[in-house]
Amino acid sequence: MNVRRHGPIAGALAALWLALGAAAGPPVPAATVQADAPHDDFTALLGLLAARRHGRVSFTEVHEMAMLERPLRSAGELLYEAPDHLEKRTLEPRRESLILEHGVLTAQRGRRTHVLSLRDYPQVVPFVESIRATLAGDRAALEHYFHVQFSGDLGHWTLELVPVDATVAHTVRDIRISGAREVIHSVEIRQSDGDRSLLTIGAEVPP
Amino acid sequence: MSSAGRAGTVVWALAVLLAAAIVARATYVADLSAFLPRAPTAAQRLLVEQLRAGPAVHLIMLAIEGGEPETRAQLSLQLAARLRADPAFAAVNNGDAAQLQRDREFLLAHRYLLADDVTPQRFTVDGLHAAIGDSLDALAAPEGLLLKPLFPRDPTGELLAILDSLGPGAAPHTDGGVWSSPSGARALLLVQTRAAGSDTDAQQAACEAIRRAFAAAVTALPAAQRAAPRLLMSGPPVFAVESRAIVKQEVLRLSAVSAVLITVLLLAVYRSLPALVLTLVPVLSGALAGVAAVALGFGAVHGITLGFGVTLIGEAVDYSIYLFIQSGGDFRRTVWPTIRLGVLTSICGFAALLPSAFPGLAQLGLYSIAGLVAAALVTRFVLPHWAQGVRSVRDLSAAGEKLVRALAGLQRRRAAAALALLALAAAAVLYLQRGALFSRELAALNPIPLAAQRLDDELRADAGAPDVRYIAIASGTDREAALAAAQRLSGRLSPLVDAGVIGSFQSPTRYLPPRAVQLARQASLPTEGELRARLAAALAGLPVKPGVLEPFVADVAAARRGATLTEADLAGTSLAAATDALLVHTSAGWSALLPVAVSDGDLAPGALARLRAAVAAQDGAPLLDLKAEADALYGGYLAAAGRLALLGLAAIVVLLAVALRSAARVARVVAPLVLAVLTVAALLVVTHHRLTILHVVGMLLIVAVGSNYALFFDRSSARPYEGSVPRTLASLGVANAATVIAFGVLAFSRVPVLADLGSTVAPGTLLALWFSGLLARPAAAGRA
């Protein structure tokens, strides 16, 4: 006989994580067709991006928040392996690592490790996907989560991403990614409450 | 009809009416409790009490599969809303936003009483500086978006600490705002019914209410989406309802098949419809009396008892067969004394089951005794009067003569020597297999089909709640004492989690810490003035604007003044059910259960030793190994059943010794029965059956039924003999055929306990008849 007890209810509580931010959003609607999407340079850019299989670059990041007197600054390295391994190693001011692999986000900070399955946190997904899908040249993913606006040309381009999902749009106004050809220069995230973060990507780190 | 006949008929009719009324009003149950014995040790009692009535008994797992994810999420929300409105359900959890919101608000409101981190050190200048610095780091990470709104209230991250302490991977995934399986293919809900676990009717009503609610939710969908979604259900209430349905179906199906086959047999033998109808009267009267007796004696009739009821046909039908076939002369003088002795030996056999700790067996014992007594009394006092008009039963003397000659032929061929060899061979087989003779696992009795057990495993894995095998138990005289013991035990288990010895563990103190601990945490919170001063110092070098943390100051002040947490504060959250499940009232006081999850697979032997040592160091608290305990329980009552069976056999021997007053005659009656039991046991072992408790009971039945045959052979070899030997032999053949049909049909049951019984008794009684015939004194056959 199978003797069992108690597990499901108590164990299920860790799902509370979900409720930490805004209430869970409704299911993400299907991508809307962008009237301005088929842009020759945009298509070419995605092709260039998709051709890059891996990269390792330095970064600096600045978070501006209304409740803070001065921005939070950090610096470190970004590692990317196509199509879905993304790693952010913060070296300053404190060591921290953030690994995204197959839709699971693992954050290691001091002694603590947090593991998030992105499927459980629909409101976090657009953030992560904005960078991952851009790096991978994954047009379908980009257009699933965002209204995508391409401006400039291959030599100097900007992607403006506006969240499709209403709950996400409630917290995030837009994400602007700029670069030259297959090299990404910066990712700026502007939140609806005026807070913003700017990730500036620096030189390639020799292996 | 004589006046005695009329009186008998009137008494019979009144008894039937009375029994029918009792049977109609009786409660019928089919949960697993019939397979759970009264337990000897405290830990086992706790286990059994929990399995019988614990919160886990009320848990139903639901899964919705098929269709689009959005459709499943919508159905989950709809279904949960409908079930929450139904008073039959104590809790309905599907991970939806509203429920999580309630849980979150509870944890947030009481975080300073709940978090392990709340110590005086945490609220010093250094402690605050470090904790707020950690939170700022988290704010810059992607999940910072989730944490940002909380920062002004909870800059030291207590809520996060509480959530972290629940352990990773312990929760179902979420998809579209509701719980789902890891693959996302199923939406999950956990439902607790309010009714007692043993109230199968109420559990069945709850299961039906769930199906109706699901059907209604599906109907509300657009037409195109209605076809795909399916509802899956599992859990103890579902199993109880399902096993009752299976047992019921099986009882009806098997009874019908047996009835048809026995009817055909008797028609072929009797060539008389009235005789056939009359033959069934003692059988049906006996069944009615048996169920009524169990209802009176046990309060509720277990479904499986009705299943065993088929077996009664096997013996009760024999009595009327003897009446119709043998009674050329005076039934009361020639046949009845033997039947009477047969009934008495059977009663001895079944009485051995009455003290069994296994309620199913005790019910079987009472059922059979009452049934046989009733059937015998009807055969003796009612049937002969009714049968006076029925004289057209075919004379089986001619067929009997052939049997007599065949038997005599066999006996001349040194049958006894052959049987002695057979006994030796059977004993040798049993001896060689002695180590692997018995099935030691309780699972051998599980009536739930394998597919349903597999679905249960799947849904549990989906919900992130695999089978719990180990439970540490902290007990106390009252709730508070049990909680305090659980808190100490948690302190011993935590290092094992950190060291990776065990995966994680749960404790009721997570949501309901002992009062002393809550008071200590409260006392570690500084006064408002002190906190402001320390906070000002702690924020030096951190970029937090002044005034941002005012909500934090207010929350700490409120927590410092606030009342401690009681169970009432948990009401309305899903945490209430979790705490309830882990805190149980026992006959000896209160016990807190701390289920231990193993990282992957099972514990290594070394790890188990460390776990045991850690648990035992705590006031000698027991570590319950559910599987080992359940199997030990089963092993214990298997042994007890074996002892009872031997006791029954001994009682039968004593009875025969008193009745027959001859050691030789007793030996002649008992030897073929023992030989039949040995041979059947050897046959079962050779055909790769592990013997279960039901096989043991089956062997007792072989002796009980077979003793009738042996007694008739004994009688026909005794002098002076007044009956007809050929007719006696013919009636035994017919009676045995009826028995073999009844039990043989049982052997094909899908319910393991019924199949075990059938596959033992059918061949066993057949062998008992043959062996009795072969070992009877040749003089009996020869004098025909």
Residue of B nearest to A12 (CA): B171
pLDDT higher than threshold 70 for residue A126:
yes
8 Å CB contact between B745 and B298: no
Higher pLDDT, B602 or B535: B535
pLDDT higher than threshold 60 for residue A5:
no
Higher pLDDT, B328 or A61: A61
* Candidates B60, B72, B148, partner chain A, best to mutate (most A CBs within 10 A): B148
Which residues are registered as beta bridge partners of B234? B61
Which residue in B35, B139, B176 is closest to A27 by CB distance? B176
CB contact under 8 A, A15 and B468: no
The mean pLDDT value for B623-650 works out to: 80
The mean pLDDT value for A142-167 works out to: 90
In terms of Cβ atoms closer than 10 Å to its own Cβ (0-12, 13-18, 19+), residue B744 is: buried
Higher pLDDT, B620 or A38: B620
Kind of pairing, strands B504-505 and B589-597? Answer: antiparallel
Ranked by mean pLDDT, the top range of B138-142, B465-469, B532-536, B711-715 is: B532-536
Q: Which among B542, B415, B608, B464 has a CA at the least distance from the CA of B166?
A: B464
CB contact under 8 A, A2 and B35: no
Lowest-pLDDT range, A106-120, A172-186, B544-558?
A106-120
Please tell me the predicted confidence (pLDDT) of residue B422: 86
Please tell me the predicted confidence (pLDDT) of residue B448: 74
Q: Which among B360, B380, B393, B391 has a CA at the least distance from the CA of B316?
A: B380
Phi, psi of A168 (to 5 degrees): -65, -40
CB contact under 8 A, A6 and B145: no
User: Which tens digits make up the pLDDT trace of B366-409?
Assistant: 998 999 999 999 988 888 888 776 655 667 777 777 777 777 77
Please tell me the predicted confidence (pLDDT) of residue A24: 33
Residue of A nearest to B168 (CA): A115
Rounded to whole angstroms, how far apart are CA atoms A84 and B138? 23
**Contacts for B772 with CB less than 8 Å, ≥ 6 apart:** B669, B672, B673, B706, B709, B710, B713
Q: Which among B105, B104, B97, B102 has a CA at the least distance from the CA of B73?
A: B97
CA distance to partner chain B, nearest, from residue A170 (Å):
12
Please provide the average confidence, as pLDDT, over all residues in chain A. Answer: 77
Does any CB of chain B come closer than 8 Å to the CB of residue A207?
no
Lowest-pLDDT range, B258-267, B328-337, B492-501, B562-571?
B328-337
Amino acid at position B377, single letter: L
8 Å CB contact between A12 and A120: no
Please tell me the predicted confidence (pLDDT) of residue B537: 92
**Contacts for B15 with CB less than 8 Å, ≥ 6 apart:** B285, B289, B374
Q: Give the count of Cβ contacts less than 8 A between chain A and B.
A: 232
CB contact under 8 A, B173 and A128: no
Residues of A in contact with B80 (CB under 8 A): none
Amino acid at position A147, single letter: H
Rounded to whole angstroms, how far apart are CA atoms B728 and B175? 75
Please tell me the predicted confidence (pLDDT) of residue B171: 63
8 Å CB contact between B69 and B181: no
Q: What residue has token string 């002969």?
A: B384
The mean pLDDT value for A51-77 works out to: 90
Does any CB of chain B come closer than 8 Å to the CB of residue A130?
no
Please tell me the predicted confidence (pLDDT) of residue B648: 87
Tokens linked to B84: 């929450």
CA distance to partner chain B, nearest, from residue A121 (Å):
8
CB contact under 8 A, B174 and A67: no
User: Which tens digits make up the pLDDT trace of B480-529?
Assistant: 999 999 999 888 888 888 887 887 788 888 889 999 999 999 999 999 99
8 Å CB contact between B241 and B199: no
Tokens linked to B675: 């030989």
Amino acid at position B61, single letter: M
Q: Which among B54, B26, B32, B41 has a CA at the least distance from the CA of B595?
A: B54
Please tell me the predicted confidence (pLDDT) of residue B49: 64
Residue of B nearest to A70 (CA): B543
CB contact under 8 A, A11 and B190: no
pLDDT higher than threshold 60 for residue B720:
no
The mean pLDDT value for B712-741 works out to: 76
| Helices and strands in chain B, H and E counts | 32, 13
- pLDDT band for position B753 (50/70/90)? confident
Residues of A in contact with B453 (CB under 8 A): 2
Which residue in B142, B169, B190 is closest to A9 by CB distance? B190
Kind of pairing, strands B589-597 and B583-586? Answer: antiparallel
CB contact under 8 A, B174 and A24: yes
**Contacts for B35 with CB less than 8 Å, ≥ 6 apart:** A1, B358, B360, B442, B445, B446
Does any CB of chain B come closer than 8 Å to the CB of residue A124?
yes
CB contact under 8 A, A96 and B50: no
**Contacts for B765 with CB less than 8 Å, ≥ 6 apart:** B314, B676, B702, B705, B706, B709, B736, B739, B740, B743
Q: What residue has token string 């009752």?
A: B244
**Contacts for A195 with CB less than 8 Å, ≥ 6 apart:** A63, A64, A65, A66, B148
The mean pLDDT value for B68-97 works out to: 89
- pLDDT band for position A13 (50/70/90)? very low
Please provide the average confidence, as pLDDT, over all residues in chain B. Answer: 83
pLDDT higher than threshold 80 for residue A150:
yes
The mean pLDDT value for B111-118 works out to: 90
A 19-58 → B contacts, CB under 8 A: 19-27
CB contact under 8 A, A1 and B152: no
Rounded to whole angstroms, how far apart are CA atoms B536 and B526? 14
| Helix boundaries (H) for B583-692 | 605-616, 626-660, 663-686
8 Å CB contact between B307 and B751: yes
Please tell me the predicted confidence (pLDDT) of residue B522: 93
Residues of A in contact with B467 (CB under 8 A): 2-4
Q: What are the Cα distances from residue B164, in Å, to A103, B66, B504? A: 20, 33, 11
pLDDT higher than threshold 80 for residue A89:
yes
Please tell me the predicted confidence (pLDDT) of residue B782: 41
CB contact under 8 A, A1 and B100: no
Q: What is the DSSP string of B455-524?
A: HHHHHHHHTT-PPP-EEEEEEESSHHHHHHHHHHHHHHHHHHHHTTSSSEE--GGGTS--HHHHHHHHHT
Q: Which among B2, B708, B5 has a CA at the least distance from the CA of B378?
A: B5
Which residue in B73, B467, B543 is closest to A2 by CB distance? B467
Which residue in B59, B168, B171 is closest to A13 by CB distance? B171
- pLDDT band for position B165 (50/70/90)? confident
- pLDDT band for position B558 (50/70/90)? very high
Rounded to whole angstroms, how far apart are CA atoms B497 and B503? 6
Residue of A nearest to B446 (CA): A1
Tokens linked to B638: 């298997």
Higher pLDDT, B137 or B166: B137
Which residue in A7, A9, A27 is closest to B73 by CB distance? A27
User: Which tens digits make up the pLDDT trace of B653-692?
Assistant: 898 898 888 888 898 889 999 999 999 999 999 887 888 8
8 Å CB contact between B530 and B619: no
The three-state secondary structure class of A1 is: coil
- pLDDT band for position A39 (50/70/90)? low
Contacts by residues B687-692 (CB-CB < 8 Å, ≥ 24 positions apart):
B689/B756, B689/B759, B690/B436, B690/B437, B690/B438, B690/B439, B690/B444, B691/B437, B691/B438, B691/B439, B692/B438, B692/B439, B692/B444, B692/B445, B692/B638, B692/B752, B692/B753, B692/B756
Please tell me the predicted confidence (pLDDT) of residue B503: 78
- Which region holds residue A204: left if phi is over 0, alpha if psi is between -120 and 50, else beta? beta
Does any CB of chain B come closer than 8 Å to the CB of residue A72?
yes
CB contact under 8 A, A16 and B107: yes
8 Å CB contact between A168 and A161: no
Q: Which residues of A157-180 are buried (b: 16+ CB within 10 A; e: fewer)?
A: bebbbbbbbebbbebbbbbbbbbe
Lowest-pLDDT range, A110-119, B174-183, B313-322, B733-742?
A110-119
Please tell me the predicted confidence (pLDDT) of residue B526: 93
pLDDT higher than threshold 80 for residue B603:
no
- Which region holds residue B505: left if phi is over 0, alpha if psi is between -120 and 50, else beta? beta
- pLDDT band for position B167 (50/70/90)? low
- Please give the class, per CATH, of domain A33-204: mainly beta
Q: What are the Cα distances from residue B573, in Å, to B91, B235, B462? A: 9, 22, 22
CB contact under 8 A, B142 and A13: no
- pLDDT band for position B125 (50/70/90)? very high
The mean pLDDT value for A118-123 works out to: 72
Residue of A nearest to B91 (CA): A9
- pLDDT band for position A160 (50/70/90)? very high
Please tell me the predicted confidence (pLDDT) of residue B328: 57
Rounded to whole angstroms, how far apart are CA atoms B768 and B761? 10
Which residue in A1, A16, A63 is closest to B163 by CB distance? A16
* Candidates B47, B146, B173, B574, partner chain A, best to mutate (most A CBs within 10 A): B146
8 Å CB contact between B326 and B727: yes
What percent of chain B is predicted at pLDDT more than 90? Answer: 22
CB contact under 8 A, B138 and A109: yes
What percent of chain B is predicted at pLDDT more than 70? Answer: 88
Tokens linked to B411: 């006996």
CB contact under 8 A, B147 and A5: no
End-to-end alpha carbon distance in chain B: 34
* Candidates B137, B460, B539, partner chain A, best to mutate (most A CBs within 10 A): B137
How is residue B379 annotated by DSSP? I
Residues of A in contact with B578 (CB under 8 A): 6, 9-10, 13
Residue of B nearest to A108 (CA): B138
pLDDT higher than threshold 50 for residue B166:
yes
Does any CB of chain B come closer than 8 Å to the CB of residue A111?
no
Please tell me the predicted confidence (pLDDT) of residue B713: 82
Which residue in B134, B174, B464 is closest to A11 by CB distance? B464
Q: Give the start-to-end residue ranges of the domains of chain A.
A: 33-204
Lowest-pLDDT range, B128-137, B303-312, B719-728?
B719-728
Please report which helix (H) or strand (E) contains residue B171, including its range: none
The three-state secondary structure class of B616 is: helix
The Cα angle at residue B422 between residues B417 and B425, in degrees rounded to 5: 130
Rounded to whole angstroms, how far apart are CA atoms B405 and B418? 19
CB contact under 8 A, B100 and A124: no
8 Å CB contact between B52 and B198: yes
Residues of A in contact with B47 (CB under 8 A): 3
Which residue in B59, B548, B578 is closest to A13 by CB distance? B578
8 Å CB contact between B506 and B592: no
Amino acid at position B349, single letter: G
CB contact under 8 A, B142 and A112: no
